[in-house]
Amino acid sequence: MGRIALGIAAIGLAVAGAAAAQTVPALRLPYAAISPDEALSLGGARVFSEVDAGYAARLKAEKARVAASQPYEVHPAIWRISDPDTTIYLFGTVHTLPPGFRWRNPGLEAVIVRADTLLLESTEEDDKDANFLTLPSDASLPPLIERVSHRSRAKLAELQGVLPAELVAQMDRMPSWVAAMSIGTIKDMVAGDMPSQGADDWLEKQFRATGRPVEAIEDSKQVMDNIGTVPEADQRLMLEAAILAPARTHDELDSAAHAFARGEVGTDSPLMILPTAFDPNAAMADPLLLERNAAWVDSLVARLRERRGTILFAAGAGHFVGPGSVIDLLGKRGLKVERVQ
């Protein structure tokens, strides 16, 4: 869904993490957050609480599982557009990856070294400004249980029953689409998802560490406002879909990451953004995908004409796959788009 959606999904991570901190056995979260005390040592040995030791063991096991799942050489997809004095590399990313997941190769690292500027959907500072974790609540909205049909209420009540009461109250004030994404994130964690840093975050840290500029291609807050205009009826369908969706297996959770690492960007790629899985009426397709793709293409064409040097544009891989994608729209604008990896 892109880095905007990732920021909203962080609400779900915060909710789930808080639930784990309450030591609620019924939730069965696969891990809990490491406390700051894990850095302390006694006689040269690290001191772990029982929870922290459990996390360390699960993290080790998850890294081993992920390593075994990648018996292939990675070569993520990279495209290029250029004119005589400007080159823009287009790199589709995945915003959260399994721990220890391999995704960089010499071809990509050569582009990273060559680039003067990193262009992202949003930067770390932009995400803070958009204030994902403290979105305005709406006291006029009914509780979540009243926003869905009777067929969904038992499942929602079961989930709410293992969350701290204050977090249930917080979610009851969320816009319906935000609550839907939060519920999806919690369910994935319960199913075994153990997300870690994505490609965008790694790239931003590397460019900042080497003193190269990092820019955002869009205004995150404006995108959030646009998504918020989706009719409430459609948002409630998203909420219901999130509640009723079956638990995803490890293979399903990891499929997009593997397609990303292998550079699989065909029409059957798991990287394709399919709103119907989350958004039955595809009401979010325009504000979350199509409108943004069109605006990004305008920005890229302007940068190609007005800027000099080498730019690396890294954004969610789903924006570069299929009809209406950035790659498709650039071609329709008459630009030569070369796949270089």
Decide: 133 and 11 in contact? Cβ < 8 Å. yes
Q: Name which of 172-176, 261-265, 284-288, 292-296 the model is least confident about.
A: 284-288
What's the mean pLDDT in 320-325?
92
Please provide residue 103's backbone torsions phi and psi, each rounded to the nearest 5 degrees.
-145, -10
pLDDT level of residue 1 (50, 70, 90 thresholds): very low
What is the predicted pLDDT for the residue at 41? 59
**pLDDT tens-digit map of 11-26:** 544 544 544 444 444 4
Whether pLDDT at 74 is above 80? yes
What whole-number percentage of the chain has pLDDT above 90?
53
286 pLDDT tier (thresholds 50, 70, 90): confident
Residue 188 has pLDDT above 90, yes or no: no
Between these two residues, 263 and 24, which has the higher pLDDT value? 263
Residue 57 neighbours by CB under 8 Å, 6+ apart = none
Q: Which residues of 307-328 are buried (b: 16+ CB within 10 A; e: fewer)?
A: eeebbbbbbbbbbbbbebbbbb
Asked if residue 136 has pLDDT above 60, the reply is no
CA dihedral 270, 276, 279, 284 (to 10 degrees): 80
Around Cβ 110, how many Cβ atoms within 10 Å? 13
For residue 220, how many C-alpha atoms fall within 13 Å in the half-sphere facing its CB? 23
Q: Which residue has the tokens 């119907």?
A: 276
Return d(Cα 245, Cα 267) in angstroms, integer: 23
Q: Which residues 6+ apart lie within 8 Å of 239 measured at CB?
A: 144, 147, 148, 176, 177, 179, 180, 183
pTM value is: 0.83
User: Where residue 283 falls among pLDDT bands split at 50, 70, 90?
Assistant: confident
The amino acid sitting at 8 is I
Q: Compute the distance between CA of residue 228 and CA of residue 77 in angstroms, rounded to an integer.
A: 32
Please tell me the distance from the alpha carbon of residue 265 to that of residue 201, in angstroms, as a whole number.
Answer: 22
Read off the pLDDT band of 185 (50, 70, 90).
confident
Does the pLDDT at position 191 exceed 60? yes
Asked if 55 and 32 count as a contact pair (C-beta separation under 8 A), the reply is yes
Per-residue pLDDT for 206 more than 90? yes
Above 60 in pLDDT, residue 266? Answer: yes
Mean pLDDT of all residues in the chain?
84
pLDDT of residue 190: 81
Q: What is the pLDDT of residue 146?
A: 95
Confidence class for position 205, pLDDT limits 50, 70, 90: very high
Show the tokens assigned to 167. 């977090």
Q: Please state, in angstroms and rounded to a whole number, the distance separating the CA atoms of residues 287 and 297.
A: 15
Residue identified by tokens 């262009």 is 119
CA angle 155, 230, 15 (to 5 degrees): 40
pLDDT for the residue numbered 73: 96
- Write down the number of H helices and E strands in the chain: 14, 10
Q: What per-residue confidence (pLDDT) applies to 131?
A: 46
- Please tell me what DSSP assigns to residue 162: T
Q: Report the alpha-carbon distance of residue 193 to residue 340 in Å, rounded.
A: 32
Nearest to 111 by CA among 87, 86, 135: 87
CA neighbor of 119 nearest in space, from 140, 145, 89? 89
Average pLDDT over every residue of 42-56: 65
Using pLDDT thresholds of 50, 70 and 90, give the confidence band for residue 49: low
The tens digit of pLDDT for each residue in 217-248 reads 999 888 888 888 999 999 999 999 999 999 88
For residue 167, the model assigns a pLDDT of: 83
